[in-house]
Chain A
Amino acid sequence: MTKSLPARAPGNGSPPHRFAAGLAVSALLGGLLLAGGALLVPRDPATGALLALEAGAFVLAAAALLALALGRRGGVWAALRWLGGLALIGVGVGRISGWIAQPEFLLIADPGAFPPVIFVTAASLGLAVLLIERPGRYLPPAQGLAALAMTLAFFSFSADWFRLGIVSLPALMSGIFLQMDALVLVASAAVLSLSPSGLRDILAAQTPGGYMVRRLAPLAIGIPLLVGWLRVEGERGGLFSLEVGLALFATIAVILMLVAVLLIAQRLNREHAYRSAAEVKLDRLNRELEDKIARRTARLEATVEELEAFSYSVSHDLRAPLRAIDGFSRILLEEKSDRLDGEGEGHLERIRSASARMARLIDDLLSLSRLSRLTLRWRPVDLSRLAGEIATELEAGEPDRNVDWIIQPDLQAAGDPTLLRAALENLLGNAWKFTAGEENAQIEFGRSADDPNHYFVRDNGVGFDMHYAGKLFGAFQRLHGQHEYPGSGIGLATVKRIIHRHDGRLWAEAVDGDGATFHFTLPRSYENDA
């Protein structure tokens, strides 16, 4: 297994910017060095001052680029950019047109003179700095200008390079040309990596293409310079003739480039093989996962089918014997009562009320199981209005009771209106039931201040012992005796199932003898029922 390409996240403060900042710092230092050199070691004071002026323009532009690389755009920084760009343009145009007097400009043949090409590159670089944030149809203008500046600077740089050679650097002015060209190259590279999209995206791309460009581009620049210099030196030194030198140059350049290309290709191939293997593995895992899901779904479907058959059978078959129990007890009571004493009649009544209770339990159980099978209809639901309606219904049922309702207005949620009504009916009905003994009964329905999806129903009724809170939401669980508070014990199980069907949570807190609070969460937006 090979290592994957270095992972670098694109975006702000990421490679292009850090890279650009590095380039801008180099340009800044180079500019300062140039200015210092011009002032400290002048050929003559006038030239030194002029040179310092030009170096100053570079320093300004480099500082502006650095600011941009660090994300400073507005106010002072924009002004700095303008200043730097205009200074470079001024230096370039001024020099070329002769506005800025300089004796060497006329003496092009003088090996120590400034070649005019430097000022063209300075002017295009300045313009590039000015236009750096402007997008273009095919290529941002700044990138075109920077590329032009780079090409010219490279031309001039390599001309000096081959003419002087590395070893014969000492001539100060020549050193300055090289420095200025290098400065232009570095600053242009900064412009390229800072201006939006275009070449920068190709260079910074975390793809095989981007990887290749980042490796090959420096070699494409470096190899001809190095090999060319060797050739020139060799020819100058009389080691080989022009033709042999050319052939050597071509051969060495070709070999070096080919080796580089092959190495990169090998790396990309390894990467590709690694990815292919990963893809195959991923594919297999996906297929296995799908198989597993299919098997589980089948099993689940079978279970659901069984459950449906079960509840159908419960619905149909469990009721018939109950009807017989109730019917025949009734007939006994009515037709054979002369042969029964009071106790016997009492027993028969008990049989009848027990069968009635069981019938209700069966109905409740069936409703509960129906809840799980139902498809939810998602609609916007006004919970406050629902709660208000339920409160009115509860009061109508027991007009003698005096309960203080506190219902927070305008609580909007999303869900199945019928089911949410059933849930609220159970919660508010419970609160109503368990505050029956309370003189100043109070029932509150509201939304949590912290979480807009979190609702609660609070009462100051009998509450319950938190010790048994776990039993609260199971079907047929009761924390109070049937004789105290009637009910089948199915209400909270129903609420729980409804809230779960809505991907919400339900929990309760209480103090025994001092009220209970039921909390639930509901999504506010529509969601598909899976």
Chain B
Amino acid sequence: MMPKKNKPILLVEDNPDDVELTQLAFRRANIANPMKVARDGAEALDMLLGEDAEKFAVVLLDLKLPKVDGIEVLRRLRGETRTRLTPVVILTSSREERDMIASYELNANSYIQKPVDFEQFVEAARQLGLYWLVLNQVPETEYD
């Protein structure tokens, strides 16, 4: 199976270290899809809902973000026809129960706590890529 149309991944993350590590982890996990980065919630909303918005295979969304936080980004995405079905994976440091509940209540597709151990992080990235870019099916017509 080939990754669908090589659609890009959107990483919403303000910490440059984490951006670098995530990119490295995805590269190590042999995920070829291009990765675009939004540095805060407002930028993410712009890239997803703005005038020349792209379609992303999956959005990796951190919760603690400058300007507009992750939960608010998710709320807005789910409120728009164009993005209400876009796969959104919460990728965060938080293990707080209330963050998980808030995310799932807003129909996040998955919730993953970023492992501190880099090997585990690479493994998580590999599984994420395999699942969301290869295995997972989305309704192409309505979605596109």
Q: CB within 8 Å of B: which residues of A?
A: 312, 315-317, 319-324, 326-331, 355-356, 359, 363, 366
Offer 13 A-B interface pairs, CB within 8 angstroms, sorted by A. Answer: A315-B93, A316-B63, A320-B18, A321-B17, A323-B17, A323-B93, A323-B115, A323-B121, A326-B117, A331-B24, A331-B118, A355-B116, A356-B116
Q: How large is the interface on B (under 10, 10 to 19, 20 to 34, 35 or more residues)?
A: 20 to 34
Contact A324 to B94, CB < 8 A, known contacts A330-B119, A355-B116? no
Chain B residues in 8 Å Cβ range of A326: 116-118
Query: Which of A323, A331, A356, A363 is B114 in contact with, Cβ under 8 Å?
Result: A323
Chain B residues in 8 Å Cβ range of A324: 15, 17-18, 21
Chain A residues in 8 Å Cβ range of B63: 316
B96 touches A327 (CB 8 A): no
Closest chain B CB from A304 CB (angstroms): 14
Closest residue of A by beta carbon distance from B116:
A359
In the bound complex, CA of A316 to CA of B15 (Å): 12
Within 8 A of A (CB), among B110-124: 114-119, 121
Q: Which 9 pairs, one residue from A and one from B, show the smallest C-beta to C-beta distance?
A: A324-B17, A359-B116, A327-B118, A330-B118, A319-B93, A327-B21, A316-B93, A316-B94, A322-B116
In the bound complex, CA of A329 to CA of B18 (Å): 14
Q: Is B92 in the interface zone, CB < 8 Å from A? A: yes
Contact A319 to B24, CB < 8 A, known contacts A324-B17, A330-B119? no
Closest residue of A by beta carbon distance from B24:
A331
Q: Is B64 in the interface zone, CB < 8 Å from A? A: yes
A319 touches B17 (CB 8 A): no
B21 touches A315 (CB 8 A): no
Chain B residues in 8 Å Cβ range of A328: 17, 21
Contact A327 to B121, CB < 8 A, known contacts A320-B15, A355-B116? yes
Q: Is B95 in the interface zone, CB < 8 Å from A? A: yes
A327 touches B24 (CB 8 A): yes
A315 touches B117 (CB 8 A): no
In the bound complex, CA of A331 to CA of B118 (Å): 9
B118 touches A323 (CB 8 A): yes
Most B Cβ at <10 Å: residue of A320, A328, A331: A320
Q: 10 more A-B contacts (CB under 8 A) besides A323-B93, A331-B24?
A: A312-B94, A315-B93, A316-B92, A316-B94, A320-B15, A323-B115, A323-B121, A326-B117, A326-B118, A328-B17
Contact A323 to B96, CB < 8 A, known contacts A355-B116, A356-B116, A356-B117? no
In the bound complex, CA of A69 to CA of B119 (Å): 89
Chain A residues in 8 Å Cβ range of B94: 312, 315-316
Closest residue of A by beta carbon distance from B92:
A316
Contact A320 to B17, CB < 8 A, known contacts A315-B95, A327-B24, A366-B95? yes
Most A Cβ at <10 Å: residue of B18, B24, B116, B118: B116
In the bound complex, CA of A321 to CA of B18 (Å): 9
In the bound complex, CA of A118 to CA of B70 (Å): 102
Chain B residues in 8 Å Cβ range of A312: 94, 96
In the bound complex, CA of A359 to CA of B17 (Å): 17
Chain B residues in 8 Å Cβ range of A366: 95
Contact A319 to B64, CB < 8 A, known contacts A324-B18, A327-B21? no
Closest chain B CB from A324 CB (angstroms): 4
Within 8 A of A (CB), among B83-133: 92-96, 114-119, 121
Closest chain B CB from A186 CB (angstroms): 79
In the bound complex, CA of A366 to CA of B93 (Å): 13
In the bound complex, CA of A326 to CA of B117 (Å): 6
Closest chain B CB from A357 CB (angstroms): 10
